[in-house]
Structure 1
Amino acid sequence: TSGVDGAVRGGGRPLDAATRGSMEARFGYDFARVRVHDDARAAAGAARLDAAAFTVGQDVVFGAGRYAPASYAGRHLLAHELAHVVQQSASALPGRDGYASPIQRKVRREGR
């Protein structure tokens, strides 16, 4: 199992109610299914991709110490990743990269 695959397999937790409510109001999108991963496996997966965070479907994976929704920088990073959740749900076609960033394409390659 690659570090990327292991980072999103099982586990994670939902967004806390206050953060979820704030982000849903900003995006007009239901983030109920989003799972936040910020444990050691998540940190290893993010490090493998040299990324602060990455998103695979509804799973948002953060590097060590990067999930910090109480801080401005943390909210900004979370909002960036949640934008990918919205994009991926809107353009999810098997075998198509759609709006995928280079890191998202690498995640897909590493996870296979």
Structure 2
Amino acid sequence: MTDQLSRVFSALADPTRRDLVARLAVGDATVGELAAPYDVSVQAVSKHLRVLEDAGLVTKGRVAQTRPVHLEAEVLDLMTAWIERYRRQAEERYARLDAVLEEMKENES
């Protein structure tokens, strides 16, 4: 699992990390702000963020004394492109199936 797409999907397999990404899509936040709604320690959230950071999904900046976490949305574009390719292929297969079924229906008449 060394390619980025595999790391991204692996990182997003966890529901807490998906929630963190969803919250960061709204705007940057500190680790403390991200940890606040959870019944876990800041360290536990930091571990989740480290996985997201290793996958390239988030980066940590520095603003004065804080280190806001930022979502790297272009990484989501990589996932979207991969998913979209297979979605188009599936739609093409369904369209061909629809055509075959319609032809069968017409031949029955």
Check whether TM > 0.5.
Answer: no
TM-score (norm 2): 0.26
TM-score (norm 1): 0.26
Which of the two has greater helix per residue?
Answer: 2
Which of the two has greater strand per residue?
Answer: 1
- Decide which structure has the larger Cα Rg and report it: 2
